[in-house]
Amino acid sequence: MGDFKLTTVEEFEAATNRLLETGAKVGADAWQIRVKNQTPHCKFGEQGICCRICAMGPCRITPKAPKGICGCDAHGIVGRNYLKFTAGGAATHSDHGREICHTLYAADPNGAYKVKDPDKLIRIAKEWGIETENKDIYDLAHEVAETALLEYGKPFGTQRWIKRAPEHTQKLWKDAEIEPRAIDREVACALHMSHMGCSSKPEALVRQSLRTGLCDGWGGSMCGTEFSDVLFGTPKPIDTEANLGVMNADNVNIVVHGHDPSLSEMICEYADDPELIAYAKSVGAKGITVSGVCCTSNEVAMRRGIPMAGNFLQQENVVLTGACEAIVVDVQCIFPALGPLSKCFHTKFITTSPIAQMPDSEYIRFSVGTAAEKAKQIVKLACDNFQNRKPELVYIPDMKQKSTVGYSVEALVKVLDGVTNTQVDVTGTTKPLIECITSGVIRGAVAMVGCNNPKIRPDYAHIELMKKLIANDIVVVASGCAAQAAAKAGLMDKRAKDLCGAGLKRVCELADIPPVLHMGSCVDISRMMILVAELAKDSGLNISQLPVVGCAPEWMSEKAVSIGNYVVATGIDTFLGVDPYVAGSDQMAQWLTSGVRDWVEAAYTVETDIEKLVDLMIERIEEKRTAIGI
């Protein structure tokens, strides 16, 4: 293994503690302090049995008061809360996807946004029955973008993307009446159903939760992913680095945070501009370093190799380094705490979206039409701020790992082609991967996704689960903050192959891949759906028969619940390390952990003990292997 060694969670924590000392010096607040103030959490909220959807309440369910004023019981209240949670997540992902469609609609050969992957655009146009012959690629981009935008509100029919699912899956969805219709309709319908005096029957609420999840994963999120690829390029394997050590004390540090690559792509573009680099030098810096936090970081890491400073619960740490000139955010997962925290340092906290406006921030409204100008303004502002740095507060933990990222489905198919054979007829399919799985060289795959959550020791669950899975010859595909946890630890370094069982190690060597594959941001979980759909079609199995499971051990956001619903609805058993506020209803818990299996051939498992969680996943993978006789 040479000098390769994983970074441990203890080392992450030591670095954080050192940064919190700086914070204490300047009177900064921190999530670690706020968690203490907020715990223990309200038991009613935790169990999902608090209802405040009408002004007769709030109603709380207790043994003495088993019904709300309207007569709704715990099952109805938990179910409505669960559906609202899902709707929030689906709306968020899908609105991000919509923004990307608008960016594509505005693409212009002479403008800031261009079509970088015309082949993918043409492929999608053909898939959707849009004429491509003799058409200017930008005219085609506008037509495809408009067609995609109509998916959000079309009055009739179901989502176009669902035709990518195997026929068997499509039939399950049709039979269960959960085929996703217009994206906005499913979100609106979820809010309608969960209004006072509508649905209170768990079965109905769970069914709409799956449908609303599907409009995200096989609708809005898929638009986000596919059209980001068209605009910014389909990811290919690329080397980068991860953890706070990617920030550079000699340079102007700009941290991009959020989700929408329309902003971060432009910031990266201008941080590379010789004119602005010269400007940075003129203020005393050696250059400009852009790094990222959360999913927008995944987006620019996958396409440009921009380093990842950290994941969700590390967002305050980038400011605490005292070396962050600007933290530039777009939408989602941004702590409002960053405003007051930045004020304790010289850092500029720059909000850019009307969707995510926060106190104590500098609001530089970003839009497609003015993207170049605004990105330039932001980079310049960060350079100007370099001189305001307080050297006595600067401390960047010397901690980073190498990572190879960028495993889109297209890239994965390509690299895995090299593994089992060189037959021409298997090129461009998932068959080599299927051969690895059926032969037992790889036992199966786990999609590790989701956030950090202070309820779980940050990153510990992600990293420990991944280590055990790869040691058991189970390949891990990761996205979101789970992917960044892996990258920070070193599990996306190709040398981590030595931590694998013999079979997976061999595959990593032959294909020249790390054992944990970075598939992108959270909207990119749609890539994982496409991958399992292809695996099912190429193997002749149903998705639910594949030895593949999903896992979100440290999740926290509404988006994660929406994801969970579409992953389960796609036929993939999903393992959660945090309860989605359903403990207050045995009926809801029963529907989610078993009842839905009758509709979609998969269900949830909730297990907060990490050791047990990983064993359950391995067990499920082995059961699936036995069931198909491999």
| Terminal Cα-to-Cα distance of the chain (whole angstroms) | 32
| Residue 56 contact partner, candidates ligand BF8, ligand SF4, none, CB within 5 to 8 A by sort of partner | ligand SF4
Q: Which of 181, 389, 443, 559 binds ligand BF8 (CB under 6 A)?
A: 559
The rounded Cα 336 to chain-centroid distance in angstroms is: 20
Give the nearer residue to ligand BF8 in terms of CB position, either 218 or 555: 555
The yes or no reply on residue 450 touching ligand BF8 (CB under 6 A) is yes
- Least distance to ligand BF8 from the beta carbon of 598, Å? 29
Residue count, binding to ligand BF8 (CB under 6 A): 14
Identify which of 145, 214, 173 has the alpha carbon closest to the alpha carbon of residue 529.
214
The rounded Cα 65 to chain-centroid distance in angstroms is: 40
Structural Rg of the chain based on CA atoms:
24
| Residue 72 contact partner, candidates ligand SF4, ligand BF8, none, CB within 5 to 8 A by sort of partner | ligand SF4
Residue 277 near residue 288, CB atoms below 8 Å: yes
Give the nearer residue to ligand SF4 in terms of CB position, either 59 or 268: 59
- Least distance to ligand BF8 from the beta carbon of 406, Å? 17
The yes or no reply on residue 567 touching ligand BF8 (CB under 6 A) is no
The yes or no reply on residue 295 touching ligand BF8 (CB under 6 A) is yes
- Output the CA angle 259-265-268, nearest 5 degrees: 120
Q: Which of 319, 412, 463, 522 binds ligand BF8 (CB under 6 A)?
A: 522
| Residue 125 contact partner, candidates ligand SF4, ligand BF8, none, CB within 5 to 8 A by sort of partner | none
CA distances from 534 to 164, 191, 436, 541, 543 (A): 8, 33, 15, 10, 9
| Residue 559 contact partner, candidates ligand SF4, ligand BF8, none, CB within 5 to 8 A by sort of partner | ligand BF8
Identify which of 115, 93, 394, 95 has the alpha carbon closest to the alpha carbon of residue 228.
115
Q: Which of 82, 232, 270, 312 binds ligand BF8 (CB under 6 A)?
A: 312
Residue 301 near residue 268, CB atoms below 8 Å: no
- Least distance to ligand SF4 from the beta carbon of 69, Å? 4
H or E stretch at 230: helix 221-232
Give the amino acid at 418.
Answer: G
Q: Which of 159, 262, 544, 557 binds ligand BF8 (CB under 6 A)?
A: 557
Summarize as ranges the residues that interact with ligand SF4 (CB under 6 A). 51-54, 56-59, 68-70, 72, 77, 196
Give the nearer residue to ligand SF4 in terms of CB position, either 81 or 361: 81
Contact stretch for ligand BF8 (CB under 6 A) within 69-77, 133-141, 363-371, 552-560: 552-560
Give the nearer residue to ligand BF8 in terms of CB position, either 216 or 229: 216
Query: What is the per-residue DSSP string for 442-471?
Result: S-EEEEE-----TTS-TTHHHHHHHHHHHH
Q: Which of 235, 480, 550, 580 binds ligand BF8 (CB under 6 A)?
A: 480
| Residue 471 contact partner, candidates ligand BF8, ligand SF4, none, CB within 5 to 8 A by sort of partner | none
Residue 355 near residue 95, CB atoms below 8 Å: yes
| Residue 426 contact partner, candidates ligand SF4, ligand BF8, none, CB within 5 to 8 A by sort of partner | none
Q: Who contacts 174 (Cβ-Cβ below 8 Å, separation ≥6)?
A: none
**Phi–psi pair at 88, nearest 5 degrees:** -60, -45
Residue 294 near residue 315, CB atoms below 8 Å: yes
The yes or no reply on residue 349 touching ligand BF8 (CB under 6 A) is no
Residues that bind ligand BF8 (CB under 6 A): 259, 294-295, 312, 333, 450-451, 480-481, 521-522, 557, 559-560
